[in-house]
Structure 1
Amino acid sequence: MSKQKNNQYKKSKKKSQRHEKPRGKQNRAPGNRPEGNPKGKNKAPNNPKGGQKTVTAEVTCTGLNSEGKGIVEWKGQQLEVAHLMPGEKAEITVNTKGRFVNTKLKRVINSSENRVKPPCPYYYQCGGCQLQHMDEQSQARFKQETIDQLMKPFGKPEPIMSMDHPWDYRNKSHTTFGLNKDRQIIGGLYAQNTHRIIPMDRCIIHDPKADEIVQTIKGMMKSFKMQPYNEDTGRGFLRHVLVKVGKVTGEIMVVLISASPIFKGKNNFVKALRDAHPEISTILLNVNSRDTSVVLGNQEKVLFGKGTITDKLCGLKFEISPKSFYQINPVQTEKLYGKAIEMAELTGKETVVDAYCGIGTIGLIASQKAGKVIGIEQNKDAVKDAIRNSKKNGVKNARFYQGDAGEFMVQMAARGEKADVVILDPPRSGSDEAFLSSVVKLKPKRVVYVSCNPETQARDMKYLVKNGYEVKGIQPVDMFPQTYHVESVAKLVLKV
């Protein structure tokens, strides 16, 4: 799930875009043993050339890092341990190898009252969710404290907007297929930071219908003699299945991602899949023959339907293609975008620049209350989608352009053109100084900054504050329950 935007730049924190991900309740008894926990990696500067060594240690968690891992002290070093909560005493394994230390939670000795049993059976293997061992209140508190700390120089953020039902929310799922050691077909998600498939029937933050369709496809593969692709040998056909669900409309897209365009028995396969799931709106074949970790290839063929689905967001219709970026949690997106439009203080007369506009979601929603909207996006396919979405909704006061948003705004300023509001929603790496300086040159009265990475947002806001803006509001939104990810929208106003 990555957003194709312009001006990506330094200090991008390594965070899995993927799960934007899942969580549940019931205290774990002291001494319960989480199996197969992902390891934490820490630097070990006092062992620069040493060989591998594993020891067991008793530690006490003193806090959490920005990824929700527990912080502990060991031999004068600060280590990070996944799935550990503040105040807990635990037994961990510490593996030292060279300059790094790997940690693993072995058992919890004294359990936090806020610890719960993760409802997902794959939680300790997968790594896509990091907070399922915390109750909902602890998750919200952790995310609030993360935002509060990052935004301390700018003021006190509002209380986080949580989700009433923090499960089943992802409208996009991506499943990888392979063979296990017994040569049986398996499908699931990669374990974090690996290409090892965790076989799973259900991811509890995915849309349930999407997972149901994937299980049907897995069951059909044997009867259709369809082999999963093998990364090592380069043999096999089916690499992945991508499912997108219109949460409001109920429309469903299924994308079969193959290593070859030759799909034997495709008509019978499509018919059997539609017979099993008549709710499917469109089916596509995407061909990715490259030796790459990128999921989608460039070659695409529609096997059934029109090749796109439509969903509704904030009262507008949006057409979604396989490569379209569309927020994966529409329930929380409505809260996020609603707050962004509120911060823009639109009266019907303003000129709004929607930088990094993607398929036009924020800009088109803003157009209902603005005088004029100008959307700019580097990705030409996304611009085509934005124009199509504008026509679909009968919007007359929005225009979308392909190009670099920073350069576009510099040219606007050089022509003496004005913008009252700039809305930006950059990728995880945030904006760069060239873009931010273009905002300063254009001098909009208000800047509304929507971010999926508050760390880079805080960095960028510091630049704007140094160059004539002041922060007037910060609102965190829990877009990705059960993970450490959190979105934030901030309002900055030009000083008079």
Structure 2
Amino acid sequence: MAERNRPNSKTIVYRSERWKKDHSRSVKPIEQKTCRIKDVCGTCQFINGDYQNSLDIKYRAGLEKLTDKTLLQGTQVTSPIPSPRSQAYRTHAKLAVRPATKSVTPHAKDGRFAIGLFQPKSHKVVDISFCPLHRNSINRLIRDLKPALNDSSLTPYDEETHTGDLRYIAIRASHLTEEVMVTFICMNDSKRLELKSMILQLRNLGHTISAAHLNVNGEQTNTIFGGVSKRLAGSDRLREELCDLSFEIGPTSFFQVNPWQAENVYRRVEQIAGPDRSHSVAWDLYCGTGQISMLLANAGYRTIGIEENPQATRDAQKNVVRNRVENTPQFVAGRVEEITENFPSWAQEPRLIVVNPSRKGLSDSVREFLKSTMARSQSRLIYVSCDINTLVRDLDDLKSTGKRVVQLDAFDMFPFTDKMEWLAVLN
């Protein structure tokens, strides 16, 4: 970044931009589309504006929060890595389904269903007919799904009365193909046959739906997915590929919404970890479907991955077999908070710890566990975070071990929003 964009701190050392040039893959530019519901939606703060300017603003805001806590003294800080795609990058959409009469968008009232996002800090649904950040296959599917639902016997979920059939729709699109996986989150499975028929109807309209599922969530909760998923049509998983590894992802498993930029993040983790010929132990906490675990295993680390979602753990195990990873990682299903005292004996002394938690960051107990582990084993920590506020909180606590942030990278995983993906290395 130019000199004028540096924060006011003489303790920050900027590295060369060579890595950024080498690892930001050139992708064919996408014509920028205009969002017509920005003021109503409020999700994407910078949409319809200049991309580079939005990137600079949120990057500097994040650095200010880190410097306010004196977390960047002597830290090597790179310029932010822009997303290879600034639009049409979101390959996963989790959309609320509510009665059209309760939508804040007037055009939604043309039918019975409102399908879209909640307005920030509310449960008012913004009906979405097109989002410039979604992959085109997702936009097209939403467009054709609405009339099919309006003609069906299904009813939208009403939060006030806890009644209705359909609560959410999750659509995931492969970033390398036109394959789509759609998951209907319903109160029960009574509409299973009708949903199967709807999938066939959408396929006849030209949608490449390779997998379709019904997920049952009858609980009165804000959680999107329930614990049971049933296949409606196609395969059990969606095929994906990152970092020369192939993956199959289940309907409730986590996978980065911007795979083009995710590859840059994972390659950066791989570079920082470096090869390990002595087979040192590495922890991959909140490992998802195993992308980082497999990269560490291929680099020579003896790796254990911990993941709360049992389906993601099963996917990770299958992905290891699929990619013929000889230095096989071990995966454990469970919350990190609950298994910290039960690590296998061989994994007690890690040389490298990678954490990639959700936006709520690390719990108090996990931070205490990591502090005692790092003090005992002299391990390095790579912290990948999608929320600057919880990252600052956690790093501020972890620095009490005497470790400091020696490197900081920022990746624009979510263009035109106020969020970024941050990567901090403690040593």
Query: TM-score by structure 1 length?
Result: 0.70
Structure 2 CA distance for partners of 1:489 and 1:247, relative to 1, 3 Å = same
- Deviations 1:95-122 (CA, angstroms, capped at 9, x unpaired): xxxxxxxxxxxxxxxxxxxxxx992111
- Deviations 1:70-118 (CA, angstroms, capped at 9, x unpaired): xxxxxxxxxxxxxxxxxxxxxxxxxxxxxxxxxxxxxxxxxxxxxxx99
Match of 1:418 among 349, 352, 357: 349
> Contact 1:151/1:157 (CA < 8 Å) preserved in 2?
no
Match of 1:158 among 74, 78, 85: 78
Q: Distance in 2 between matches of 1:417 and 1:225?
A: 55
For the pair 1:141 / 2:70, whether they are aligned, the reply is: no
Structure 2 CA distance for partners of 1:272 and 1:448, relative to 1, 3 Å = same
Match of 2:235 among 306, 316, 320: 306
> Contact 1:351/1:420 (CA < 8 Å) preserved in 2?
yes
SS of residue paired to 1:475: strand
For the pair 1:180 / 2:109, whether they are aligned, the reply is: no
Q: Distance in 1 between matches of 2:267 and 2:99?
A: 45
> Contact 1:228/1:236 (CA < 8 Å) preserved in 2?
yes
Structure 2: gaps (5+ residues): 1-31, 102-108
Q: CA deviation at 1:410?
A: 5.9
- Deviations 1:155-206 (CA, angstroms, capped at 9, x unpaired): 3521000124211111111233344345722322222222222222101111
For the pair 1:427 / 2:358, whether they are aligned, the reply is: yes
Q: Which residue of 2 aligns with 1:437?
A: 371
Q: Which residue of 2 aligns with 1:400?
A: 331
Single out whichever of 441-450 and 177-186 deviates more from structure 2.
Answer: 177-186
Q: CA deviation at 1:453?
A: 1.8
Structure 2 CA distance for partners of 1:438 and 1:392, relative to 1, 3 Å = farther
SS of residue paired to 2:404: strand
For 2:199, give the aligned amino acid: V
Q: CA deviation at 1:248?
A: 2.0
Q: Distance in 1 between matches of 2:350 and 2:275?
A: 12
Q: CA deviation at 1:279?
A: 1.1
Q: CA deviation at 1:125?
A: 0.6
Q: CA deviation at 1:234?
A: 4.2
SS of residue paired to 1:265: helix
> Contact 1:406/1:438 (CA < 8 Å) preserved in 2?
no
> Contact 2:213/2:231 (CA < 8 Å) preserved in 1?
yes
Q: CA deviation at 1:126?
A: 0.7
1:103-114 matches, within 5 Å, as none
Greater radius of gyration (CA): 1
Q: Which residue of 1 aligns with 2:9?
A: none
SS of residue paired to 1:469: coil
Q: Distance in 1 between matches of 2:153 and 2:346?
A: 62
- Deviations 1:310-329 (CA, angstroms, capped at 9, x unpaired): 20111111221111011111
Q: Distance in 2 between matches of 1:390 and 1:290?
A: 34
> Contact 1:286/1:298 (CA < 8 Å) preserved in 2?
yes
1:80-479 matches, within 5 Å, as 119-132=34-47, 134-152=49-67, 153=70, 154=72, 155=75, 157-181=77-101, 184-185=111-112, 186-263=114-191, 265-349=194-278, 350-397=280-327, 398-403=329-334, 405=336, 417-431=348-362, 432=364, 433-479=367-413
> Contact 2:84/2:260 (CA < 8 Å) preserved in 1?
no
Structure 2 CA distance for partners of 1:280 and 1:235, relative to 1, 3 Å = same
Q: CA deviation at 1:408?
A: 5.8
Q: CA deviation at 1:377?
A: 2.6
> Contact 1:147/1:476 (CA < 8 Å) preserved in 2?
no
> Contact 1:378/1:404 (CA < 8 Å) preserved in 2?
yes
SS of residue paired to 2:77: coil
Root-mean-square deviation over aligned CA pairs: 2.6
Q: CA deviation at 1:468?
A: 3.3
Q: Distance in 2 between matches of 1:442 and 1:365?
A: 25
- Percent identity between the two aligned chains: 28
Single out whichever of 213-222 and 148-157 deviates more from structure 2.
Answer: 148-157
Single out whichever of 407-416 and 389-398 deviates more from structure 2.
Answer: 407-416
- Deviations 1:302-354 (CA, angstroms, capped at 9, x unpaired): 11012211201111112211110111111111111111121112244333211
Q: Which protein is richer in helix relative to its size?
A: 2
**Number of residue pairs the alignment of both structures matches:** 377
Q: CA deviation at 1:267?
A: 4.3
SS of residue paired to 2:213: strand
> Contact 2:185/2:215 (CA < 8 Å) preserved in 1?
yes
- Deviations 1:180-235 (CA, angstroms, capped at 9, x unpaired): 34572232222222222222210111111112112211111233343323333444
> Contact 2:375/2:401 (CA < 8 Å) preserved in 1?
no
Q: Distance in 1 between matches of 2:340 and 2:123?
A: 42
SS of residue paired to 1:317: strand
- Deviations 1:128-166 (CA, angstroms, capped at 9, x unpaired): 111225422221211221232233322352100012421
For 1:260, give the aligned amino acid: N
Q: Distance in 1 between matches of 2:48 and 2:319?
A: 41
Structure 1: gaps (5+ residues): 1-116
> Contact 1:344/1:447 (CA < 8 Å) preserved in 2?
no
